Amino acid sequence: MTTEIITVNQYFNYLAEKKLMGSHCPKCNTIDLPPRRLCSKCLSESQWKELSGKGELKTFTAVYVGAKVMTDKGYGRKTPYVFAVVQMEEGPSISGQLVGIEETNPDTYHIGMKVEVTYLKTETGKDKEGNSVYRWDVGFQPRS
Ligand SMILES: [Zn+2]
């Protein structure tokens, strides 16, 4: 745990370091994910807490007509992606893309399946020197 102030920017910096960081309320023990500076339950100041990255598939949908960022990656009507809500072992739920499955074969994933976080990288543009700039998102993959 660290006393560093919770910001959205720092949350994404942690994702780039492949750390799933939520927030923990020292007063009522609530864990929020994505992290919140103020506890969602009692509004006390929360602190960073690294989560295990392990959870269970709570619900999902296969997306055949996706956002541009996804169609740019090659997803579409014949190549859907699966968007999932996962309940983390620590309590909170978070959404993200489910990978490591056969998207068009529903026998390869199901509600209650054990999953773990994976970190998905998307190029969002170039910096002044022409180097690629990336954004990191939470995704999930099956675990045994
Ligand atoms: Zn609280």
CA 123 to chain centre: 17
Per-residue CA distances from 68 to 44, 64, 74, 75, 89 (Å):
38, 12, 10, 9, 32
pLDDT above 70: residue 6: yes
Q: Does residue 1 carry a pLDDT above 80?
A: no
Q: How far is the CA of 46 from the centre of ligand 1 (A)?
A: 7
- Return the residue matching tokens 């929020």: 32
**Is residue 109 very low, low, confident or very high in pLDDT (cuts 50, 70, 90)?**
very high
Q: Which pTM value belongs to this model?
A: 0.89
Between the CA of 42 and the centroid of ligand 1 the distance, in Å, is 4
The whole-number average pLDDT for the span 97-113 is 95
Neighbouring-strand partners of residue 72: none
